[in-house]
Amino acid sequence: MANFSKQWCDINDPLMPADFDILEIADTLQPDTYTPEICEGFGFIAIGRSIDNEIMLAMPVPPKEGDTEEYIQWVPYNDIIK
């Protein structure tokens, strides 16, 4: 089942009901913690708070040629939600 954040729905399909709100989840997190949450629209797999209390989203990065595993890049919320 695909999940979509309120923020993605607001930007891309305002009539679509959202499954969760990034900001509501982030408000429950302490600095330097995260919780798994997938947004199919934006493509992130977790919501976190940096050590500086900034909201961060975990974006999977596909493996480069020759690598066997993808890795995660933490991206600031404001870089994704524009």
* pLDDT tens-digit readout, 18-61: 999 999 999 999 999 999 999 999 999 999 999 999 999 999 99
Helix (H, G, I), strand (E, B) or coil at 63: coil
- Residue 33 CA to residue 15 CA, distance in Å, equals 32
Show me where the domains of the chain are located: 6-80
Q: Residue 68 carries which DSSP code?
A: -
80 phi/psi in degrees, rounded to 5: -95, -45
**What integer pLDDT is reported at residue 67 of this predicted model?**
78
Q: CA nearest 41: which of 9, 15, 78, 76?
A: 9
Q: Output the pTM of the full model.
A: 0.90
Sheet containing 71-76: give its strands across. 33-39, 44-49, 55-61, 71-76
